[in-house]
Amino acid sequence: MNTAIRAPALADRVKDAALAAFVAFALLAPILGMETVVGPDGRLTLAFHFDLVALGVAIVFIGRLLFGGLVAGRLAVRREGGPISRFLSRYSTVLGAAGLAFAVALPFLPFSSRYVIDVATTVVIYVMLGWGLNIVVGLAGLLDLGYVAFYAVGAYSYALFAQWFGLGFWTCLPIAGLLAAIAGILLGFPVLRLRGDYLAIVTLGFGEIIRLVLINWHEVTGGPNGIADIPRPSFFGFPFTRNPGEGEIAFHQLFGLEFSTMHRVIFLYYLALGLALITNLFVLRIRKLPIGRAWEALREDEIACKALGINPTNTKLTAFALGAMFGGFAGSFFATRQGFISPESFTFIESAIILAIVVLGGMGSQIGVVLAAAVIVLLPEIARELETYRMLFFGAAMVLIMIWRPRGLLAHREPTIRLARRGGAA
């Protein structure tokens, strides 16, 4: 329903703008208005800049007066995706294929350098994490603020199994996925009854618990020092080294190439891409199965689901477990790519970024996640030249995107199944 919201009356807007100006004053007075300077006698004194405060407050007042109503009006209209997102999802298969072709060709395009491939690998990891979290948040509708915990479990599983038992990446990958899935179920059990905000708080706590365990359990995790010298991946047993050890054949020898450090970078990129594609195929497939539909139904109405004979406990736990499993895969990859991990890498901000990717992409949309991951990883990269103002720019861009597309970049949900496909059953 595109009911137009009437613009608020002028008096209301002035009142609203005055309130915004007051908040701005309260914030700006100490931040901009006062400066500690060294006085002539060598002591610190306060210098006041009332002109700056006045300017700031005036900008906020006028800006709010001009645009406040506009923004509020747009936000109030809960749209089911405009023409752009409908266009994007209609041609999602074409777009997906084009994007995939681009991703596969990327390392061989003229402009790609080590930097480009490194950034692209990061984008792909976040795409994968976004797709994993999308199962929990986008499909099952369970707000999870501690997703980074599963990423950490995956990373540490690989690092520890490799260090202690000398297991290789491909052996550790399923183990890491399994352990992360178990962690997902452990988190799932106590929070089954919770919903919305309450669930979000508990998952937030869970993420912190995992991080604190990693910091404090010195004997196993190395505490804040983390784990170094994690084995780098090999090309199915052929290492990426200049001088392979006794009886070993290095990747470049196998293919008769000149040794280059780029081989490993490109291999890591394709590895990430492969893992992400597996995640995508899995999610696309499972959405069409009864369990996938049950997740979406559970997000929409839990009581109705119960009345239809769906076991909400099992349904939620599978969502947590599978979402966590892909987080674990991504974590393993992260560990092998970095070669060094520490609890620093698994702070709340990571969870927030992954969640932002899912929300920004339009909850439940696969291509949306790709777009959002690209935006979130690339924006700070593009803004590197802005230096100090980089994160400010990033924040402002996020706010603008959410104003422009309050339900995410791609909010239009395509049905997972149509009767016509069943070959004239009707």
Partner 1 sequence: MLEVENVVTRYGVIEALKGVSIRVERGEIVAIIGANGAGKSTLLMTICGQPRAASGRIRFEGREITDLPTYDIVRLGIVQAPEGRRIFPRMTVYENLLMGAVPTGGRYLEEDLERVFALFPRLKERLHQRGGTLSGGEQQMLCIGRALMARPKLLLLDEPSLGIAPILVRQIFEAIVAINRERGLSILLVEQNAYQALKIAHRGYVLASGRVVREGTGRQLLADPEVRAAYLEGGQ
Positions touching partner 1 (CB under 8 A) are: 290, 293-294, 296-297, 300-301, 303-311, 413, 415-419, 422, 425-426
- Is 229 or 300 the residue whose CB approaches partner 1 more closely? 300
CA angle 218, 144, 211 (to 5 degrees): 10
Non-local CB neighbours of 222 within 8 Å, separated by 6+ positions = 342
Amino acid (one-letter) located at 28? L
User: Smallest distance, Å, CB 160 to partner 1?
Assistant: 39
User: Smallest distance, Å, CB 281 to partner 1?
Assistant: 21
Question: What number of other Cβ atoms are within 10 A of residue 424's Cβ?
Answer: 6
User: Smallest distance, Å, CB 232 to partner 1?
Assistant: 45
CA distance 348 to 353: 9
Token pair listed for 144: 């999870």
CA distance 222 to 200: 29
What 3-state class would DSSP assign to 213?
helix
User: Smallest distance, Å, CB 318 to partner 1?
Assistant: 14
- Is 274 or 290 the residue whose CB approaches partner 1 more closely? 290
User: Smallest distance, Å, CB 339 to partner 1?
Assistant: 44
What 3-state class would DSSP assign to 296?
helix
C-alpha atoms less than 13 angstroms from C-alpha of 347 in its C-beta half-sphere:
4
User: Smallest distance, Å, CB 359 to partner 1?
Assistant: 16
CA distance 130 to 399: 19
User: Smallest distance, Å, CB 304 to partner 1?
Assistant: 4
- Is 195 or 306 the residue whose CB approaches partner 1 more closely? 306
Amino acid (one-letter) located at 303? I
- Is 260 or 314 the residue whose CB approaches partner 1 more closely? 314
- Which spans in 32-165 are helix H? 50-63, 69-76, 83-90, 92-105, 114-134, 148-165
From 240, 245, 244, select the one nearest 262 (Cα to Cα): 240
- Is 291 or 352 the residue whose CB approaches partner 1 more closely? 291
| Cβ–Cβ < 8 Å for 333, 124 | no
Contacts 24+ apart (CB under 8 A), 107-111: 107/266, 107/269, 107/270
Amino acid (one-letter) located at 225? N
- Is 149 or 305 the residue whose CB approaches partner 1 more closely? 305
User: Smallest distance, Å, CB 214 to partner 1?
Assistant: 37
- Is 106 or 297 the residue whose CB approaches partner 1 more closely? 297
User: Smallest distance, Å, CB 298 to partner 1?
Assistant: 10
User: Smallest distance, Å, CB 293 to partner 1?
Assistant: 6
User: Smallest distance, Å, CB 363 to partner 1?
Assistant: 10
- Is 13 or 293 the residue whose CB approaches partner 1 more closely? 293
Question: What number of other Cβ atoms are within 10 A of residue 376's Cβ?
Answer: 22
- Is 12 or 414 the residue whose CB approaches partner 1 more closely? 414
Contacts 24+ apart (CB under 8 A), 368-373: 368/408, 368/409, 368/410, 368/411, 369/127, 369/130, 369/131, 369/134, 370/99, 370/127, 370/130, 371/409, 371/410, 372/130, 372/408, 372/409, 373/123, 373/126, 373/127, 373/130
- Is 293 or 390 the residue whose CB approaches partner 1 more closely? 293
CA distance 416 to 293: 8
- Is 11 or 425 the residue whose CB approaches partner 1 more closely? 425
Look up residue 225 and give its DSSP letter: G
